[in-house]
Structure 1
Amino acid sequence: MDGKEIKEFVKGRYSKIATKEESYCSCCSGVDLTIEQAKAAGYALEDIKSIPEEAVFGLGCGNPTALADLKEGETVLDLGSGGGIDVFLAANKVGESGKVIGVDMTEEMVETARKNAEEGKYENVEFKLGEIENLPIEGGSIDVIISNCVINLTPDKFAAYKEAFRVLKSGGRILVSDLVTEGNIPEEIKRSFDAWSNCIAGAMEKQDYLDTIKDAGFKDIQIVEQHFFTEPNMDERLVGKITSVQIKAVKMRCMS
């Protein structure tokens, strides 16, 4: 398998999730169980109820908006915005004077998110079709980047972080929720398309992941929260080896 094949498979899978041809987890279909999955990922019920219901797919491994310290008037970019859950939560925080942009490579997800924005009467959000390794965003235009369990889906994480660095303003920051590994996972799983689309096969070893962020130019890299990741029917060979991390980092201001 190569990077292009992986991306096409992942795109196809999430297209089906967007159109509800299938759910992310066969054991968590239905509105109530989807909400429970979102709560397990770190979303408060109050937050879930404050946004369009169709934006919640039960995806993700954290709640980046809870730790991003978003302020009124900021411009926020969500990498891999899906149905818009994090975009809408961020929009509630930055207010009318702020703006939140969601980028997703899946056309069906972007269409779903735009419909959700229209139904929720959000005036300060925008959704764009694009890839996180080649963002359709002007350089130096973003205050904060958030992302929820998406960067592990790309085979080229360095490219994704270089793009994040490019579009951030000097002094801008990122708050990324993602999955990493602690210890080796079986090669059979690493070569599985299904495991890639389930955010497992593409997970990097934790220190390698942190080094990738550093190599992209970021400073003051911190893990602000972490816990072992589990899910129903998880392969027993992965138990205790997959960690959900929430990472904060900064694009340092240029010294004049």
Structure 2
Amino acid sequence: MNTARDTHEAVRERYAAAARDQLETGGSCCGPTATDPITVGLYEGTDSPSDTALAASLGCGNPTALADLSPGEDVLDLGSGGGLDVLLSARRVGPIGTATGLDMTDEMLELARRNQAEAGVTNARFVRGTIEEIPLDDASVDVVISNCVINLSPDKASVARECHRVLRTGGRFAVSDIVLLREIPDALRGIVGLWTGCVSGALLDTDYIATLTEAGFADASVKVTRTFDRAELELMSDMVDGQLPEGWSLEDVMDSLQGAFASAFIRARKGDA
């Protein structure tokens, strides 16, 4: 991928295809599977308001369980996909709070609205847009959440600035995401499957904190929530199928990725101006 537009289109097509499968079949073909160690087992013990939204979840964490949402708060979910985290947030903030899902993929928005209707959730809405240019007013939400989406953006500094802009003073940034624990070779950065699979576009944990701080956030922190062993990496080998860099073997890719990335929960807050 050579441009930000290429990245957006690759991500859009991957998630549009997942949503189309769900819309057409109603099955769990695009949801967490035993061959996807990043997404599997994230909502165990959670009383989901929508089984189809749960089946369509493609995240790397459960931000609603960690964001300490309170009744009456207004929540924004970046890259809301099938809507699971929006529906869970709407239930937590109660009827006087709101939950807004933002997604750039029409098929995902259609799926999310269908799941919302089936769940009977009335204090939620889904809007179209990109996370680099959030179509909400300044200081309009109390909490920004996201589930394994910011790593997909080609312009994470813009995402951080936009999150800071839409949050009210004292508002919270509370997202699940993939972070790098050390640098990976440049040759792996251009593999489309690793980008759309949430790996090669990720920031170093220290760079994530720096990006949030530069955007104006205070108290930024990264807490690793899940690491991946060699057997789990091998389950992800289809991400690079047919896309190996010249001179690389699949074993070389696995060696480079082992211990290099993790799921994490990232927090920050918008302090006084």
Do both share a fold (TM > 0.5)? yes
Output the aligned Cα RMSD.
2.2
Does structure 2 retain, via aligned residues, the 8 Å contact 1:228–1:241? no
Change (3 A) 1:120 1:65: same
Change (3 A) 1:233 1:60: same
TM-score after normalising by structure 2: 0.84
Equivalent residue number for residue 45 of structure 1: 45
Q: Identity over aligned residues, as a percent?
A: 41
1:30 is displaced (CA, Å) by: 7.6
Equivalent residue number for residue 248 of structure 2: none
SS of 1:10's partner is helix
Equivalent residue number for residue 77 of structure 2: 78
Change (3 A) 1:45 1:160: same
Whole-angstrom CA distance in 1 between matches of 2:262 and 2:41: 12
* Matching residue's letter, 1:16: A
Equivalent residue number for residue 53 of structure 2: 55
Does structure 1 retain, via aligned residues, the 8 Å contact 2:21–2:29? no
* Residue ranges of structure 2 left out of the alignment (5+ in a row): 238-252
Equivalent residue number for residue 89 of structure 1: 88
* 1:246 and 2:273 are equivalent in the alignment: no
1:223 is displaced (CA, Å) by: 2.4
Equivalent residue number for residue 141 of structure 2: 142
Greater displacement, 206-215 / 150-159: 206-215
Equivalent residue number for residue 177 of structure 2: 178
* 1:169 and 2:168 are equivalent in the alignment: yes
TM-score after normalising by structure 1: 0.89
* Residue ranges of structure 1 left out of the alignment (5+ in a row): 23-27
* Matching residue's letter, 1:13: R
Change (3 A) 1:98 1:21: closer
The size of the alignment, in residue pairs, is: 246
Equivalent residue number for residue 66 of structure 1: 65
SS of 1:118's partner is helix
1:119 is displaced (CA, Å) by: 1.3
* 1:15 and 2:34 are equivalent in the alignment: no
Whole-angstrom CA distance in 1 between matches of 2:97 and 2:22: 34
Does structure 2 retain, via aligned residues, the 8 Å contact 1:170–1:251? yes
